[in-house]
Amino acid sequence: MADEIAPEQEPEEKEEERATTNGQVTRRQFLVGAGVGAVIGIAGTAGVLTLVHPTAPVEQAQTVATPSTTSATATASALVEGTKLIALNVNGRDYEIAVEPQYTLAEVLKRDLGLTGTKLGCNGSMCSACTVLVDGVAQNSCSLLAIREVGKKIITIEGLEQNGKLHPVQAAFWDNAAYQCGFCTPGQILGAVELLNKIKNPTDDQIRAAMSGHMCKCSAYPNILAAIQAAAKQMA
Amino acid sequence: MPAAKSYVTPLDYEKMTPEEREWAVLTGRADLDRAMKEGTPRSTTPPASPPAQPSADYAVVGKPQKDLEGYRIVTGKSTFTVDVYLPDMLYVRVLRSPLPHAKITSIDTSKAAALPGVYGIITYKDIPAQVLAGLKPVMASEPALVGDPIAAVAAVDETVAEDALNLINVQYQQLPFIVDPIAGAKSGAPLALSNLQSNVSGPDFKVVRGDVNQGFASADVTVEHTVNTQDQQHVALEPHIAVARWDNDVLTMWTSSQYTHAIARIVAATLGMPYSKVRVISAFTGGGFGDKTAVYPYHLVAALLAKKTMRPVRYELTRLDVFYEGSHHFQVVQDIKLGFKKDGTLVALQADSTARLGAYSRGSGLAGDTLSGARLEYNIPNILLNGRGVITNTSSAGARRSVGEASGMFALETLMDVAAEKLGMDPVDLRLKNINETGDPESKLPWTSNGLRDCITNGASAFNWKSRWQGWANVNKGAGPLKTGVGFMALASNKGSKSPPMTAVVEINVDGSVRVVQGAAHIGGPQRTTFAIIAAETLGANLDQLSVSEPDTAFTTDTGIVAGSRATKSVGSAVKAAAEDARAQLLGYAAAKFSKDLSRTVNPQDLAVTNGQISLQTDSSVKPITFADAVNSGFIIVDGQQVPAAATIIGRAVVPPVTQYAQQTYAAAFYEVQVNVQTGVVRVTDAMQIHDVGKVINPLQLTNQVHGGSVQGTGFALTEDYIYDTATGIPVSSNLDDYKMLMINDVPKITALFVESNDAVGPFGAKGIGEPAFMAAAAAISNAIYYAAGIRLTSLPMNPKRVLEALKA
Amino acid sequence: MRSFKYYTATSWEDAVATLGKYKNAQIVAGGSDVLGWIKDELTGPGAPLADVLIDIRTIPNTSYINYDATAGLKLGALTTLTTVAESSDVQKNYPGLATAAVSPASPSIRNVGTIGGNIMQRPRCWYLRGANFPCYKKGGDFCFSVTGENQYHAILQGELCYIVHPSDTAPALISLNATANVMGPNGAKQIPFDQFFIGPRTNVLKETVLEHNEILTEIVVPPPAANTKSVFMKVTQRGVYDFALVSIAVAAQIVNGVWQDGRVVLGGVAPTPYRATDAEAALKGKKIDANVALQAAQDTLVKARPMSQNAYKVDIAKNIIVQAVTSLVS
C-alpha cells in the first residue's frame, strides 16, 4: 500500500516492541515501556515514533478548496487490527505515527503530535470546534479516522501563521473581538479560511451559511460575521 | 418607601456549605442578611452621584481595546486545560448509572482490572465516606440520578478505558424515583434519596413586606399567571476536565475553572491536605457560564486515580458526561400575582417559586434567587414571596448566568405586560411609573447608582418604540403567515456586586513593565484585558507595558470567583487599589530621581503620570522620565525622606466589602420577532439591550458581552430544553442535536447601548454586565410574540410545538 | 471510542464479500453517523456494535456526478453532499435535490458526508440514540416514545416503533422517481427509491430493504420530463443545523398552472420518507391554487395519528404541503 511505511524505515525500538507482542503492537504495550518526555503543560509526544522530513518546506496554508473528499484509492485490500504505522502530512510536515483504527485525527493531532490548537467541543460533529482543512476542505477532525487521512494535506490552526505573520482571518478575529473564551476560535477561523478561499467577497448570508455549523456558546456571532467581512476585504 | 416592617428568611451560616456561603456573598444575600440582622442601616444617604467622567478624560478606559491574549487565542497557542498532556499520563473514563435511583448490590471490576493497559479503578468502596464533591458522592453506592458515577478507570488511552468499563459488572436494586418537582414536593412522593425525610429541602425562603392581603384588597386590577421555565445545561464548549499529578505529597491540578482558589481549598479540605500543597491552574477557561464554579466528582476522581496509580491522570468528560455531571440551570415553576391601582401604581406582589434541585443541591436559596429581582425592581408596599427547593432524581441544579433571576424576570416582566394591557397602558410607561430608584426596601440601604430610568427612556427612543408599538388595539394585526411584533422588558439584578475576596498585586518591574498579579479566570470578558486597562489607567502606564497573570493558586492572589457578573467590579476594584498603591510608590521613586537630577526637593504630589511618562507638573521644561528611570533610581521618598529602595515596586490591595450601599444592575430590552403561524417557528429579527454599566471600561468587549448574552437569552427563550423521559428518569436531549443552541443564522442585528450611572463603589464607576445581558431577552421575546400573534407563552422554550398549540387553544 | 478493525476495500465486490465475512462489520463512507454510533456505544441484541469498519472510500470511481439529457443524472454514492449541492447540473435540472443536499447538518459534515450516507443514515429518535433505552430498533421489546417524550416522533405510519426518517435527500429523490443501484452477493441490482425504505412492521431493525451485505453504490435520477418543477422545503427549530420537524419534496409537471403528474413526499413525519399519494391524487389534473393545495394537504393528513405531544406536526405538515405545492406555480 502506498501509505504503508517500509519496514526498514522503522526505528529499532519499534521492531522490539513488535517482537514482544506477536506482531501486534498496540498502544497499551507501547506506552507501558515508553518513558516519553514532554514539556509539562504542553502536549506530550506519546506515540510519536519519528518525525521524518522535519525541515520540509511548509505548504501555503491557503489551499484552494477542492470540491470532493475522497480517500486515496486502495490497490490492495488490507485488514488493520491493532497498531499501524502511518504517515500524516500536517501543516506541510510529514509525521510517521503509530495509530489504531479507532484513533480520530483530532486525538492524534492533539495527544500524539502535540498540535493542541485543534479543540474538541463535543467529539460528535455537532459543534465544528475541531475543524481542520483536509486538502483545503473544512472537516470535523473528531469524526475523521487518522488512518484514513494518509496522503492528504492537513492544515490546522498552527499552520495558518506564515513567517510570523498572522493569516488575515486570524488578524481580523483578534481585531474584531470575534470570540470571548476563544475555545471555538481555531475551528471558526479554519471554517472562515475555507469560505474565503472559495468565495472572495461573500455576502453576510453566504458567511452565515458557511459558518452555520460552528457553535460559539459565548455567542460572539455578530463579531464573527464582522471579522470575516473584514478579512475578506483584507484578502481582496 | 412604606414604613411597613419586612421579614426575610435569615441565613443560617452554621448549616450552610462553604459553597452556599460563597454564593450568599456573591448574590448579595449575605449583605442583605447582615443589614437585616443589624436592624439599623449603616447609611441611608444616597451616594453623591456626579455623572460618570467622560471617556475623553481617560487615556485607556472607555476606548475599544483588543484582547491582550488575542494572539494566543487566534493561533491556537492558548493553553486550555484540554491542551494539557503530561508524560506518562493515564486517561480516565467513568461508568455511570443507567438508573435514576438505585442501590448497588454488587460490583465486580476484576475483569476490567485484568485488561492490559488498565492501571487503576475506583468505586465507592475505595472512597472514604467523608470524601464528597460538595454534596455529591465521588463514586455513588446509591446512585440518585442517571449519570451518577459508579466506577472510574485509568488506562493508557481512552479506548482501553472504555473497553474496560464494558468489563465491569454492576448489579443494581432499583428504587423509586422522582423527576417532577411539584409531584416531588407532595407528601407520599417517592424520596429521591433514602436518607431524606422529605424531598422539600429545608425551610422555605420567605419575604414579607406590608400586608399582601390588604394590598390585593386595595387593588383595582389584579393579574396572575403560572410560569414554567426549563432545565438547561450550559454547554460551555470546553468540556469539564481535570488533569492531576502528584509530586510526593503535593497535588497539582489543571482544570477548566471559574475559580481556581476555591477548587484548591475544597480539594485540600476534602482530602485532608494543607491548602498550600494543592496547586490549581486554569490558564484559559473555555466557557463556564456558572458551570465551572464548583468542585465536582471528576476533580476528585482525577486526584484519587493519580494517587492510586502514581502517574499523571487526565479526565476529560465526554459531552454526555457533562450533561450528567455538570450543573443545570434548574427548572422552576412560579405562580406570580400583581395588584395595581387604576393609574398603574403597583400595590401588591405575591409569588411562589418551586425549584427543582436535582439530587445534590439543597435548600431554598435557589428558589429565593428567582424572586430577588421582583423584590427590588419596583416600589411595591405589600409583598409575600415564598420559595422552596425540591430534591429530585435529576442532574443537580447550580449556577448559570443569572442563577434563577432570569426565570424570575421572565415571570415578572411577562406579567407586567399582561397588566399593561389590562390597565390600557403603554408597557414602557407602566415600568417608569413603578421603578424603585431609592434603595433596598428591606435593608434600607440606598443604591450605589440607578440608571434604570435612563435605560428605559433611552432605549424606547433609540428603538423607536412609540411608532413600532402601536397600542393594545393592534395586537395580532398582521396579515399573512409571518407576523411581526415588538416587545419590551425592564430588569433589575442583584448580580454584578462588589464582593470579597478582592485582592491583587501590581508590580512595576526593573524595566518599567507592569505585571498585574490576580487569580481571576480568563473566560471571555476578556478579564485579563479589563484588569490591564484598569491598572494602566490608574498608573498612567501605556497598555503595552502591562501583563496579567494566569490563575495559578501557587502564584496568584485569591480574587474570588469569575461569576455573578463580579469580575470587572470586584477584581477590578482590587486591581485599581493595588495600582494606586504601586503608583504612590512609583511617584516616591520618581520624586527621588527628580530630586537627585535637579538637585532640589521634588515632592511626589508635584508629579503627573501619563502615557508611561512621569513629568514634573510644576516645571514643563524638565524632561519627563520613564517608569524604568524611576524604579532604577535606587531611592524612594517617603514622608519627605529619601530612603534606599530596591528596583522593583509591589503594590498591594485587600479591598473591604461594601456595607453602606445596596448594589444593583439594570437593563431594558426591546425585541422584534417574526412568528410563522403556519410552522410555529419564531425568529428574533431585531434586538436591543440597554444596560446601566456604571461606566464603560472597554466598549469593544462590552458590546461583545451583550451580543453573547442576548443570543444565549434567546436560546433560553426559544430552543434550549433539557428534557427527561418521566417514565424512566433518563434525560433524552443530552446531545447537541436535541439540545438546541442557537447558531450564527439565528442571530439578528443586536444593538447594545449603555447608560453610565457612575456606580459609587465600582472601579471608575463601573458595574457588571455578564448576567443582565442574558436576562434581558426572554420576557421581551414572549411579549413580542404576544404582540405579533396574540398568544401568551409562559412556558419555555417557546418552540414550534408550544406556539402552534397556543394558536389552536 | 471503542476499538475496531479497519478494512480497506478495493471494489464493491470486495466490500460485499467482506461484509459477508464479518457479522458485525459495517461500511464507512463519510463516517459521521457510523462513528457517532460507535462513540455513543449504541448497541443491543439487534444492533451489535461494529467491530470491523470497511472503508468504501478506497474503492476507485465512487464519487462522481454525470448528467446527460437522455440518461439523466448518475451520482456515485460517495459523492459528498457539498458536491451534489454545488453541481450546476443538479441545480439546473433538479433544484429540489440541490436544496435537499444543502439542507442536512453543517457545511463541515456535508463536506465529508456522502449522498449515500445521507440516504442510509440511521434515525435520530432520542430513545434510539440514548444508550440506556433498549428499544425495538436495538432488538429490545419496547418503544419508549409511545408513553414518553414524543414531540418529534411519527404522525403517520408509526407502528411498533415511531421513528421519523431523518434524510433530507431521500424525499427529494423519491419525488424525482430516482433509483438505487445496489451491489450484493449476487451482483448489481436496481431498486426504485419508492420501494427502498421499509417501515418497522416489515423489519424494525433497519430502515431499508438492503441486507447486511448489500451496498448502495449509485443513485440514478431520470431526466426531468418537460415542464417539471421541483422544490424542497424544511421546517426546523433552529435556522440551520437541525433535523426536520417536517420536510417536503415536490416534483411535478405543471402546464399552464395545471398539475399533470407529480409526486409529493414528506420527511420527518413517518418511519420512512412518506409518499403522499393522497395529495398527488387530489392534485392530478387540477389547476393549482391555495384551495386545491389545501385539499391535497387535508387528504394527506386525515390519515395522521398523532401521539400525545406531536399533534403540532400535523399542522406543520398541512401548511408546508400548501406552501410547497403553491410555490410551484408562483
The ipTM estimated for the assembled molecules is 0.97
Total domains, chain B: 2
pLDDT per residue as tens digits for the range C42-73: 999 999 999 999 999 999 999 999 999 999 99
Cβ distance of B163 and C2 shorter than 8 Å: yes
Q: Average pLDDT for residues B494-501, to the nearest whole number?
A: 88
pLDDT per residue as tens digits for the range B300-347: 999 999 999 999 999 999 999 999 999 999 999 999 999 999 999 999
Q: Average pLDDT for residues B356-364, to the nearest whole number?
A: 96
Report if residue B336 sits inside a domain: no
Report if residue B440 sits inside a domain: no
Report if residue B52 sits inside a domain: no
Q: How far is B267 from chain A (nearest CA, A)?
A: 21
Q: How far is C50 from chain B (nearest CA, A)?
A: 14
pLDDT at B48: 85
Is the backbone peptide bond immediately before B501 cis, with ω within 30 degrees of 0?
yes
Residue A69's pLDDT band, with cuts at 50, 70 and 90, is low
C-alpha cell at B180: 417532577
C-alpha cell at B508: 512595576
B593-614 b/e (C-beta count within 10 Å ≥ 16 → b): bbbeeeeeebebebbebeebbb
Residue B4's pLDDT band, with cuts at 50, 70 and 90, is low
Report if residue B359 sits inside a domain: no
pLDDT at B515: 98
Are A121 and A176 members of one domain? Answer: no
Are A188 and A225 members of one domain? Answer: yes
Q: What is the pTM of this model?
A: 0.94
Residue A63's pLDDT band, with cuts at 50, 70 and 90, is very low
pLDDT at B58: 97
Are A92 and A14 members of one domain? Answer: yes
Residue B771: CA count within 13 A, CB half-sphere: 33
Last residue of a domain, one of B654, B672, B698: B654
Are A32 and A110 members of one domain? Answer: yes
Rounded to whole angstroms, how far apart are CA atoms B285 and B562? 11
Cβ distance of C83 and A67 shorter than 8 Å: yes
Q: Average pLDDT for residues B598-619, to the nearest whole number?
A: 95
Are A112 and A223 members of one domain? Answer: no
By residue range, what is the domain housing residue A230?
Answer: 168-235
Report if residue A116 sits inside a domain: yes
Cβ distance of A182 and B710 shorter than 8 Å: no
C-beta separation of A215 from A128 below 8 A: yes
pLDDT per residue as tens digits for the range B8-30: 999 999 988 887 888 888 888 88
pLDDT at B23: 82
pLDDT at B246: 98
Percent of chain A with pLDDT over 90: 67
Q: How far is A207 from chain C (nearest CA, A)?
A: 11
Report if residue B207 sits inside a domain: no
Q: Which of A48-52, B62-66, B552-556, B706-710 has the lowest mean pLDDT?
A: A48-52
Res. A55: pLDDT tops 70: no
Residue C90's pLDDT band, with cuts at 50, 70 and 90, is very high
Residue A77's pLDDT band, with cuts at 50, 70 and 90, is confident
Are A155 and A217 members of one domain? Answer: no
Last residue of a domain, one of A159, A189, A211: A159
Are A173 and A203 members of one domain? Answer: yes
* Residue in A with minimal Cα distance to B236: A217
Rounded to whole angstroms, how far apart are CA atoms A29 and A16? 11
Res. A18: pLDDT tops 80: no
CATH at A185? 1.10.150.120
Cβ distance of B727 and C148 shorter than 8 Å: yes
Residue A225 three-state SS:
helix
By residue range, what is the domain housing residue B636?
Answer: 498-654
Total domains, chain A: 2
Question: Residue B666 CA to chain centroid, in angstroms?
Answer: 15
Res. A68: pLDDT tops 60: no
Residue B690 three-state SS:
strand
Report if residue B102 sits inside a domain: yes
pLDDT at B50: 82
Res. B374: pLDDT tops 70: yes
A119 close to B (CB below 8 A): yes
Report if residue B333 sits inside a domain: no
A205 close to C (CB below 8 A): no
Are A152 and A177 members of one domain? Answer: no
* Mean per-residue pLDDT over chain B, rounded: 96
What residues pair up with C254 in beta bridges, in sequence order?
C259
Q: Average pLDDT for residues A193-213, to the nearest whole number?
A: 97
C-beta separation of B737 from B323 below 8 A: no
pLDDT at B470: 97
Question: Is the Cα torsion angle B164, B168, B174, B176 positive or negative in sign?
Answer: negative
Res. B32: pLDDT tops 70: yes
* Mean per-residue pLDDT over chain C, rounded: 97
Cβ distance of A145 and C31 shorter than 8 Å: yes
Rounded to whole angstroms, how far apart are CA atoms B144 and B103? 9
pLDDT per residue as tens digits for the range B716-752: 999 999 999 999 999 999 999 999 999 999 999 999 9
Backbone angles phi, psi at C148, to 5 degrees: -115, -145
pLDDT per residue as tens digits for the range B576-604: 999 999 999 999 999 999 999 999 999 99
Are A13 and A130 members of one domain? Answer: yes
A143 close to C (CB below 8 A): yes
C-beta separation of B378 from B432 below 8 A: no
Q: Average pLDDT for residues B253-261, to the nearest whole number?
A: 97
Nearest CB to B742 within list C3, C144, C238:
C238
Last residue of a domain, one of B623, B654, B685: B654
Q: How far is C60 from chain A (nearest CA, A)?
A: 5
Residues in A touching C59 (Cβ below 8 Å): 73-74
Are A66 and A141 members of one domain? Answer: yes
Nearest CB to B84 within list A41, A161, A225:
A41
Nearest 5°: CA angle at C144, between C139 and C147?
Answer: 150
A71 close to C (CB below 8 A): yes
Cβ distance of B736 and A127 shorter than 8 Å: yes
Mutation pick from B678, B683, B724, B791 vs chain C, by most beta carbons of C within 10 Å, is B678
Last residue of a domain, one of A99, A126, A159: A159
pLDDT at B18: 80
CATH at B555? 3.30.365.10
Are A28 and A123 members of one domain? Answer: yes
Cβ distance of B719 and C237 shorter than 8 Å: yes
Residues in A touching B155 (Cβ below 8 Å): 28
Which residues, including other chains, have CB under 8 Å from residue B28's CB and lie 6 or more apart? B372, B494, B495, B497, B499, B662, B663
Report if residue A122 sits inside a domain: yes
Q: Identify the structural domains of chain C with CATH numbers, from first to last.
A: 228-327 (3.30.390.50)
Res. A42: pLDDT tops 50: no
Last residue of a domain, one of B325, B348, B375: B325
Residues in A touching B319 (Cβ below 8 Å): 121-124
Last residue of a domain, one of A133, A159, A185: A159
Q: Which of A117-131, B43-57, C55-69, C305-319 has the lowest mean pLDDT?
A: B43-57
Q: Average pLDDT for residues B378-384, to the nearest whole number?
A: 97
Cβ distance of B678 and C316 shorter than 8 Å: yes
Report if residue A137 sits inside a domain: yes
pLDDT at B262: 95
pLDDT at B70: 97
pLDDT at B638: 84
pLDDT at A72: 66
Q: Average pLDDT for residues B224-252, to the nearest whole number?
A: 98
pLDDT per residue as tens digits for the range B626-684: 999 999 999 898 888 888 999 999 999 999 999 999 999 999 999 999 999 999 999 99
Cβ distance of A70 and C57 shorter than 8 Å: yes
Residue A46's pLDDT band, with cuts at 50, 70 and 90, is very low
**Total count of residues recorded for chain C:** 330
Cβ distance of A126 and B735 shorter than 8 Å: yes
Report if residue A2 sits inside a domain: no
Nearest 5°: CA angle at B494, between B551 and B708?
Answer: 60
Res. A15: pLDDT tops 80: no
Cβ distance of A43 and B83 shorter than 8 Å: yes
Report if residue A133 sits inside a domain: yes
pLDDT at A24: 38
Percent of chain B with pLDDT over 90: 92
A27 close to B (CB below 8 A): yes
How would DSSP label each residue in C85-145? Answer: HH-HHHHHH-HHHHHHHHSSS-HHHHTT-BHHHHHHPPP--TTTTSTT---GGGT-S--TT
* Residue in B with minimal Cα distance to C319: B678
pLDDT per residue as tens digits for the range B283-293: 999 999 999 99
Closest residue by Cα to residue B492 from B444, B437, B445: B437
Closest residue by Cα to residue B126 from B142, B150, B90: B150
Residue A51's pLDDT band, with cuts at 50, 70 and 90, is very low
Res. B199: pLDDT tops 70: yes
Report if residue A52 sits inside a domain: yes
* Residue in A with minimal Cα distance to C38: A102
CATH at A102? 3.10.20.30
Closest residue by Cα to residue B521 from C271, A32, A183, C32: A183
Residues in C touching A81 (Cβ below 8 Å): 5
pLDDT at A34: 33
A102 close to C (CB below 8 A): yes
Q: Average pLDDT for residues C6-34, to the nearest whole number?
A: 97
Percent of chain B with pLDDT over 70: 100
Cβ distance of B734 and C3 shorter than 8 Å: no
Report if residue A85 sits inside a domain: yes
Report if residue B195 sits inside a domain: no
Comparison of pLDDT for B5 and C18, the residue scoring more: C18
Q: What separation in angstroms does the CA of B697 have from each of B52, B453, B533?
A: 11, 21, 8
H/E stretch holding B537 reads helix B527-539
Report if residue A1 sits inside a domain: no
Are A143 and A187 members of one domain? Answer: no
Comparison of pLDDT for A17 and B538, the residue scoring more: B538
